[in-house]
Chains A and B, each alone.
Chain A
């Protein structure tokens, strides 16, 4: 068989290793074989290809030294930096908040754990815990770790030596340029050279090819030149309507911290591509970022109308129902997920919780057992924590105590478990112990208001008014509408005034 044909066949069957090997042999025989060369670049690219649209996490550096967003303090509800007061969302007391002041989401994706820390120290310290990791910058971050081969060493040097590549020559050849570009962009992760090639190529085709414009936009986006990226995407959209381009353009606006513009663009996209699920999901994500739960759920429901297999939408709606006191409905959504073949710890954990709150106690422990049997080191602690939570609910304090201990055994940074242990210890009257637990909890997770308040009320009882006052202040900083903290604070103020 013709080796090139075979190589193509391997490529189509996604057997990239064999394809690369075959192409290398062809190229050894004839180094000027363009077809083999092009195929090899494509195969190498496919090996490490990741979807640009979804994989995107802001690095610490971008977060701290953000100078792209225009308004430093925008009106609430118009910015992702300052989440709004939460329309249609349950309060922080019911639905826990992440550190950014956003409610926990039902679906973990890059960016949902995003924190907007106040200071550099906070930013650097937070990812030090074992379970969150944030790249230093997005340029050096996940792309290097996930999506590129540039860190791998190849035995006989790189396939293409970029430094010696004659860019103008390649950019004038449309048949080679596109695959070469993807190779440089995805495989080598060398955005500057990719940009060089793309700008040459778009000029060579008289600025008529929208594809090159999108690629240019991608390069600019990676380099952090959002305004240039915006221009390229817009110009590409003028030539050719593409869902992808809309998604990229919206990413740019999200980075510029203009969520309403992003939603506007998504809606424009929806006019051209009616009911496109990825666009609807995009809108829902933006609203979720702004804490606008009623709109989020609305759009996730629209997603489900179009694509009833969307795990993200089902999970998010499920979570929403769970936290708005409708565990039975949440249970339905999670069962749907189970039907679709999602079979993991998190799902069983959630099912267990839903069953518990829906008073189907027979199923609760079975679900948690399933979850435990599937759990890995990463999420074991969460399952044990939830079991402890259920045990607290049925009044079995010993089981609860043991569960929280087990949660800490698998992850000793589990702040919630520390907090609950503290409460249990306080009940037992071991104040020193509980004090230590509370301190551990609020040092690990300063954004949680519970350990602060617990610490404050305990200190108040033992008469350490100064630390009580401080802790209560921290609690009301974390959750400004918390009544108990406010009451404690005002009574302490009165007390101090009397002195």
Chain B
């Protein structure tokens, strides 16, 4: 049994996920956590007694509080200066980020981050020479070096929730893994996306493990491990994983995934199987897990903190523990497991015996129809057929993709269990028709929220009408990427979308047709000779989607939905193995919206400045009123004091009202900035490879120089 080597009670609350450890003087690790009221505390038990002079008066503990004056949104510490060993503390809030040299009490840089700072990570990225601090905000990723110059910038699909640096493709350079609110994990090699994985919820934490392996945690309580872009394992709990960390707890040379849960549980899971090898409990939710040599004896300890300030340190288990960290007895555990299995087997055996008995029952006519039904025997040639269809919907039902499941004979389907990620709430869907309407076929409506290919794992319970035992049919069907689009009748008059993307492919039309057949749900495969002309209708109501392709390879995609156009181009490029692709985009409506948003952003900025100045003025006034009122109190001039405090009260109310206005203004501003970032991201998705990076970077430059017309030109043509 592994017990903590030390336990501390810090009398401060710790904000979840805002725990870091830093060697601010280059030697001693200090636990650093964000706490309430916009403060960060640093726990430094090592330099006790080195202070002198007047410091002694305030030495109530080893804690040092830092004022940030704003709600802290992320904290980390890391080496940014390659010349010294001192770590830099990085604190992000919703409006800015501060790099602070704790040892010297001086700022390294203080930057405004209009996109907010939801996550921050420090380290080497790609071929960028010096370590960078990467800040993930609303749809944007920003990297600063030691001087505070931004050396890295790119956009991503949605608000960033978590970041980590992992050598994803084994090229000895770190890639940036980004988890965002749109359920995607994206991997950036500098500013190019090299991989994208879709999960089922917002990704709240990421942590690098060994080599290309990394752990992740979702908002719905899922924890798992990826190796490159394939998932090793995952488990789901009803609690939420607050923090994950890779640490070799059983000293076998391979890091385990340590997870801290919202109910205070800590567990360590083997990175290959997800099997729990150790667990412990805190009284409160876990706030963060870090590792550091906190006792200064040369071994890195695992340090876990709970939200009410309890800190425990665990030492890796020695060889004599043989990886057995739980306090339960191995023999007992094994016996329990074996008897469980015996129980199951006995139950199964009993079933078979029952069947056997019925079959051997002495009856001249052999096995009766009725008995067969009772026993749940179905014809041996029963097959389960599934088809996927596009259903255009009716008055009462929205358009959807229909999964039709039927048996080949009159056996009925009792229930269908479909397991698929990201389509249903909570991943699985059970259809259990009422007994009266049981039939040999079931229709399941599916509305995938996003255009991604999904594997549907279907389990159907097939049996006779009144049998109590059923056969389970298992099969897997793939839902193609663009299943929510139906082929329109070529004769029907459909108004063409105003917007389009034009690109040139060095491919034959046949290949594109092949792609269309694969990724769309079609009744029958399209065969096309000569120029291609196809129109699809979106079941989500975002208008028609038209493809046309000339023999010369020039392709035009017409749709009003810029996201969709991006998805189509990305999917097409993956299919055709295109590395770089430039395109001309014509989205008048999106551009107009963007223009309006940019105007709004300007307005919000100027209003904000005014409000801020007013607020600062007021707060100065409030301070002087406090002093005056206190002055009156000390002089026992109660009348004046009362007057002073009354004034203070009124002014304070004004200030609070002003604050509310400012808050609203800020929220609006954030929304606008987010939509600008998303627009840039969409424009990037219309291109592939280096052209994509080029678009995003030149958009950034245009935004910086406030050159709106240039921005539009870049979005349209892909270069400045």
What is the interface of chain A, defined by CB distance below 8 A to chain B?
Answer: 59-62, 64-65, 67-76, 78-79, 82-86, 101, 120-121, 123-125, 136-137, 139-140, 191-192, 195-196, 199, 219-220, 223-225, 227-228, 230-231, 253, 256-261, 264, 477, 480
Shortest CB-to-CB span from A150 to chain B, Å, is 15
Asked whether B152 is an interface residue with its Cβ less than 8 Å from the other chain, the reply is no
Measured CB to CB, the nearest residue on chain B to A265 is: B106
Bound complex: CA A64 to CA B630 (Å): 12
B627 touches A60 (CB 8 A): yes
Q: How large is the interface on B (under 10, 10 to 19, 20 to 34, 35 or more residues)?
A: 35 or more
When distances are taken between beta carbons in the complex, the residues of chain A under 8 Å from B57 are 477
Asked if residues A224 and B55 are in contact (CB atoms below 8 Å), the reply is no
**Minimum distance in angstroms from B58 CB to a CB of chain A:** 5
Chain A residue nearest to B609 (CB atoms) is: A199
Contacts known (A137-B624, A260-B105); A76 close to B64, Cβ less than 8 A: no
CB within 8 Å for A192 and B614 given contacts A72-B66, A137-B623, A258-B107: yes
Known: A123-B627, A137-B620. 11 other contacts (CB 8 A): A71-B65, A72-B64, A76-B54, A76-B55, A121-B630, A121-B634, A199-B606, A219-B613, A223-B613, A227-B96, A261-B107
Residues of A within 8 A of B613 (CB): 192, 195-196, 219, 223, 225
Query: What is the chain B residue whose CB lies nearest that of A101?
Result: B54
B709 to chain A, nearest CB (A): 15
Q: Does B110 contact A (CB under 8 A)?
A: yes
B528 within 8 A of A: no
| Cross-chain contact B623 with A61 (CB below 8 angstroms) | yes
Q: What distance in Å separates the Cβ of B250 from its nearest Cβ neighbour in chain A?
A: 39
CA distance A338 to B616 in the complex (A): 46
Interface centre among A72, A83, A253, A477 (most CB of B within 10 A): A72
- B67–A72 touching, CB < 8 Å: yes
Cβ-defined contact, A82 with B53, below 8 A: yes
The answer on a CB contact under 8 Å between B631 and A257 is no
Any A CB within 8 A of the CB of B490: no
Give Cα A227 to B70, complex, Å: 13
Q: What 9 pairs across the A-B complex have the smallest Cβ distances?
A: A61-B623, A261-B106, A78-B105, A223-B616, A74-B105, A85-B53, A137-B624, A139-B620, A260-B106
Quick check: is B591 within 8 A (CB to CB) of the other chain?
A: no
Closest to A140 in B: B624
Task: Please judge, given known A-B contacts A120-B630, A140-B624, A192-B617, whether A85 and B609 are in contact too, CB under 8 Å.
Answer: no
Task: Please state if A79 and B69 are interface contacts (CB–CB under 8 Å).
Answer: no
Query: Which residues from chain B contact A60 at a C-beta distance below 8 Å?
Result: 627
In the assembled complex, the CB of B487 is this many whole angstroms from the nearest CB of chain A, namely 53
Measured CA separation A231–B114 after assembly (Å): 14
Contact across chains for B609 and A70 when beta carbons are under 8 A apart: no
Q: Closest CB-CB distance, A442 to chain B, in whole Å?
A: 19
Q: Assuming the A-B contacts A73-B64, A136-B628, are A82 and B105 also in contact, with contact meaning beta carbons closer than 8 angstroms in the complex?
A: no
B51 within 8 A of A: yes
Instruction: Say if the beta carbon of B281 comes within 8 Å of chain A.
Output: no
B199 CB to closest chain A CB (Å) equals: 37
CB <8 Å contact, A61 and B104: no
Residue of B nearest to A194 (CB): B613
Is B112 positioned at the interface, with any CB of A under 8 Å from its CB? yes
Q: Please pick, from B51, B106, B620, B631, the residue contacting A76 in the complex, using a CB distance under 8 A.
A: B51
Taking CB atoms, residues of chain B closer than 8 Å to A199 are: 606, 609
Q: Which residues of B contact A69 (CB under 8 A)?
A: 67
Of chain A, the residue at the smallest CB distance from B602 is: A203
A-B pairs with beta carbons under 8 Å apart, 7 shown: A67-B69, A86-B53, A124-B631, A136-B627, A136-B628, A219-B613, A227-B110
B610 lies within 8 A of A196 (CB): yes
B626 at the interface (CB under 8 A from A): yes
A65 touches which of B100, B107, B623 (Cβ 8 Å): B623
Give the residue name and chain of the B residue nearest to A261 (CB). B106
Complex interface: chain B residues within 8 A of A191 (CB): 617
Residue of B66, B68, B98, B617 with most partner-chain A CB within 10 A: B617
In the bound assembly, the distance between CA atoms of A261 and B108 in angstroms comes to 8
- Would you list which residues of chain B between 586 and 623 have a CB under 8 Å from chain A? 606, 609-610, 612-614, 616-617, 619-621, 623
Q: How far is the CA of A264 from the CA of B616 in the complex (A)?
A: 28
Alpha-carbon distance between A228 and B619 when the two chains are bound, in angstroms: 16
Contact of A70 among B53, B67, B623 (CB under 8 A): B67
Complex partner residue of B617 from A75, A223, A258, A260, CB under 8 angstroms: A223
Taking the closest CB of chain B, its distance from the CB of A349, in whole angstroms, is 30
Among B105, B107, B628, contact of A79 (Cβ-Cβ < 8 Å): B105
CA distance A83 to B613 in the complex (A): 33
Given A73-B64, A136-B628: A224 touches B616 (CB 8 Å cut-off): yes
* B52 at interface by CB-CB < 8 Å: yes
Cross-chain contact B616 with A258 (CB below 8 angstroms)? no
Contact status B627-A124, CB under 8 Å: yes
Q: Is B103 an interface residue (CB 8 A)?
A: yes
Q: In the docked arrangement, what's the CA distance between A101 and B54, Å?
A: 9
CA distance A68 to B620 in the complex (A): 13
Contacts of B616 in A (CB 8 A): 220, 223-225
CB neighbours (8 Å) of B627 from chain A are: 59-61, 64, 120, 123-124, 136-137
Chain B residues positioned under 8 Å from A264 (CB to CB): 106
Write out, one digit per residue, whether chain B residues 26-66 have a CB within 8 A of any chain A CB (1) or not (0).
00000000000000000000000001111111100000111
Q: Nearest-CB distance from A254 to chain B (Å)?
A: 12
Whose C-beta in chain B lies nearest to the C-beta of A257?
B105
By the criterion CB–CB under 8 Å, are B634 and A125 in contact? Answer: yes
CA distance A453 to B522 in the complex (A): 98
Are B105 and A224 interface neighbours, CB within 8 A? no
Q: How far is the CA of A71 from the CA of B24 in the complex (A)?
A: 14
Which B residue sits closest to A139, measured CB to CB? B620
Task: With both chains docked as a complex, state the minimum distance between the C-beta of A292 and any C-beta of chain B, in angstroms.
Answer: 13
Nearest Cβ distance between residue A483 and chain B, in whole angstroms? Answer: 16
- How far is the CB of B387 from the nearest CB of chain A, in Å? 62
**Are B52 and A76 touching (Cβ within 8 A)?**
yes
**Chain B residues within an 8 Å CB radius of A70:** 66-68, 98, 100, 105, 107
> In this complex, what residue of A is CB-closest to B52?
A85
Q: Which residues of A contact B606 (CB under 8 A)?
A: 199
CA of A61 to CA of B631 in the docked complex: distance in angstroms?
11
Contact of B104 among A78, A82, A196 (CB under 8 A): A78
Instruction: Assess A258 versus B106: contact at CB under 8 Å? Given A60-B627, A70-B67.
Output: yes
Measured between alpha carbons, how far is A75 from B100 in the docked complex, in Å?
14
Q: How far is the CB of A454 from chain B (nearest CB, A)?
A: 23
Of chain A, the residue at the smallest CB distance from B38 is: A67
B67, B96, B613, B634 pick with most chain A CB within 10 angstroms: B613
Question: Within residues 370 to 427 of chain B, which ones have a CB less than 8 A from any CB in chain A?
Answer: none
Q: Report the Cα distance A231→B95, complex, angstroms.
A: 14
B626 touches A65 (CB 8 A): yes
Report Cα–Cα, A492/B55, bound state, in Å: 26
CB distance from B204 to the nearest CB of A (A): 28
Q: Is the CB of A67 within 8 A of B67?
A: yes
Contact yes or no, A480 B56, CB < 8 A: yes
Inter-chain contacts of A231 with B (CB < 8 A): 110, 112
From residue A195, how far is it (CB to closest CB) to chain B in Å?
5
User: Is the CB–CB distance between A84 and B53 below 8 Å?
Assistant: yes
User: Are A61 and B624 within 8 A (Cβ)?
Assistant: yes
Task: State whether B66 touches A124 (Cβ < 8 A).
Answer: no
**Interchain CA distance A204-B474 in the complex, whole Å:** 70
Return chain A residues, CB-CB under 8 Å to B112: 231
The distance from the CB of A35 to the nearest CB of chain B, in whole angstroms, is: 31
* Residue from the list B58, B103, B110 in contact with A230, Cβ < 8 A: B110
Nearest Cβ in chain A — how far from B255, in angstroms? 35
Q: How far, in Å, is A404 (CB) from chain B's closest CB?
A: 30
A178 to chain B, nearest CB (A): 20
CA distance A195 to B610 in the complex (A): 9
List CB contacts (< 8 Å) of B616-664 with chain A: 616-617, 619-621, 623-624, 626-628, 630-631, 634
CA distance A340 to B460 in the complex (A): 104
C-alpha spacing A65/B630, complex, angstroms: 13
Contacts of B52 in A (CB 8 A): 76, 85
Report chain B residues within 8 Å CB of A139. Answer: 617, 620-621, 624
**Of listed B66, B96, B105, B606, residue having the most chain A CB within 10 A:** B105
